[in-house]
Chain A
Amino acid sequence: MTETQPATSSAPALEVAGLAKSFGSLLVASDVHLRVESGERRGLIGVNGAGKTTLFNMIAGELKPDRGSIGFFGDNITRDSVIQRTLKGLGRTYQVSTLVPSVTVRENLALARGDGRLPSLWQPWQSRLDGDLMTTADQLGLTAVLDETVANLSYGTLRQLELAMVMAQKPRLLLLDEPAAGLSHAERQVLQDILHELPREVTLLMIEHDMEMVLALSDCISVLHQGEMFAEGSPDEIAAHQGVRDIYLGRAND
């Protein structure tokens, strides 16, 4: 490392501090703190309605927090727009995949990797499909369905397409909202292998209900409960954590 280089390499990939959000009288986040180191694989769990997706929406800029700040590799992005965050290297998938239903998988892939500028009005759209993109699509098992209309895809394939599109963007931080939901056992295995093999330049923050997968992939797991981070620790610690077990068994409110 040269002396001119700032200390950002040690800055966390994500630093959420004091984040709060309520929808009317429903308090979804009261004081959320979350620090994810660069290169880390972090699992985010919590019961249905705990506010996990809402937290992602705030990190990605689709929802404005009431309070708090969001740091991204040492850069305060709290006020950045969605597109600015994307261009800085934040990528996400959605719990409910939709994409562009009326066109083919290939055409959707051609829409990946926006660069903040207006795309060509003259070149054919196929010119945006390069070897890199097609390799990613192939890894995710999309080769056979490239010419299918997205509206006709099975749910599992749709999830794979969504993942291919965000991975093509080569994000520095990848937020995955329940990537395994709706996948068959075999598809889950493929997904797990792909995520396992992601280079460490990509930091991963993953919401997932499939505990087996979370435990296998994560370096560290955070538990969101009642608007705050309830616990944080290694997969073994979380699996053994009595409080976390109670939440999942519905006894934490007693």
Chain B
Amino acid sequence: MKREHLLILAIVAALVAWPLLMGNYAVAQANRAMIYALAALSFSLLAGRLGWFSLCQTTFAGISGYTVAILGVRYGLPFPLVVLLALLLTTFSAVIFGLLTVRSRKVSFLMLTLALGQMVWALSFQWVDVTGGYNGIAGVRMPVYGGVDLNDTRIFYVMVTTVTVAIFLAMWRLYRSPFGLLLLGIQENEQRMRALGHPVALARFSAFVLAGAIAGVAGVFLVYDMGIMSPSPLGLGHAVWVLTAAVLGGYRSLLGPAIGVAILITLETLVAQYTDRHMMVIGLVLLLSILLMPRGLAEVLEQRFKRKSKPQASVTTTTRGE
């Protein structure tokens, strides 16, 4: 069995053990972490593969969350339909945003996603009739099926974990597929990819829409986790938080964004117990870690991993794909 398969098994085992060993608070924290790991994965798919830094991935999560809240609470549509429509609408938004951004380069891409994100954020508190303004829409809950309350922290954990693991596994395949390789090729040598006969714009656009859809999934879980949808998850603060987590963990690797989110949430929880100035402490930790590990924690771990294993054909792909 390959090392990476062992790693996957270990992660799955840990995720199964967590709710059995830990209390409700820790399970709830894990739920939140996995939701943000999906958002950070969505960011990293674009940043790591294409060199595109997006500030609107949390916006897609927000669009998804609002759709769930509005259709579920206001219109009382059934849960599966609500989720389906939320994902469809988010993907559709990603198609529109993608058409607007696909020709842009690094800095203009960042600025365009910032502008689009801010526009939707403004809409979310100004379009009061639909979104409920700053108060948002409260009472967003999952249904109870046959006596099983899907809102129960541990039941919710099972759902979030299953979906998150499935998405990460799918991305694991994608990162090592010819498509994933092509995205890296586009980041490093776009002109050459075109000359080799690859549809560069289509590949970029597809990655963008896919990343938007992943953020949409995160948004569905986020709104049910919070029970309320308000403008704050669409704000710049959240976008930057996700970016920070991805950079801290290492957005070039698959597990980096998840590691970054886990560290950031753990730090916030720990530091908040001791001091009110927790943002300062966290800022300091971030500063140090980015100075010491500019490529993120995941790649530091990979280097160790690589040094211990024998050089072989699959090592390079393993390490970058992880």
Contacts and interface: CB of A to CB of B under 8 A. Distances in A.
A118 B185 contact: no
Contacts of A124: 173, 176-177
Contacts of A116: 197-199
A58 to B, nearest CB: 14
A236 to B, nearest CB: 34
Most buried by B among A81, A87, A122, A165: A122
Contacts of A119: 177-179, 181-182, 198
B181 A125 contact: yes
Interface of A: 60, 62, 81-83, 86-87, 92, 94, 98-104, 106-107, 110-125, 127-128, 146-147, 149, 165, 169
24 contacts: A62-B191, A62-B195, A83-B197, A100-B189, A101-B189, A103-B181, A103-B316, A106-B313, A107-B181, A111-B181, A111-B193, A113-B196, A114-B196, A116-B197, A117-B199, A118-B199, A118-B202, A119-B181, A120-B179, A124-B173, A125-B178, A146-B313, A147-B313, A169-B196
For the complex, would chain A's binding face be called helix, strand, loop or mixed by DSSP majority? Answer: loop
Given A111-B178, A116-B198, 10 more contacts: A86-B195, A92-B195, A101-B188, A103-B181, A114-B196, A119-B177, A119-B182, A125-B317, A147-B313, A165-B196
Contact of A121 (B177, B188, B192): B177
A86 B200 CA distance: 13
Contact of B177 (A92, A120, A165): A120
Contacts of A98: 188-189, 192
A86 B194 CA distance: 8
Contacts of B195: 60, 62, 82-83, 86, 92
Contact of A123 (B178, B192, B196, B203): B178
Contacts of A165: 196
B180 interface: yes
Contacts of A113: 196-197
Contacts of B177: 119-125
Contacts of A146: 313
B4 to A, nearest CB: 12
Nearest to B181: A125
A62 B193 CA distance: 12
B191 A125 contact: no
Interface in B165-189: 173-174, 176-182, 184-185, 188-189
Contact of B316 (A83, A114, A147, A169): A147
Given A83-B197, A114-B198, A115-B197, A102 B184 contact: yes
Contacts of B313: 106, 146-147
A76 to B, nearest CB: 20
A99 B64 CA distance: 39
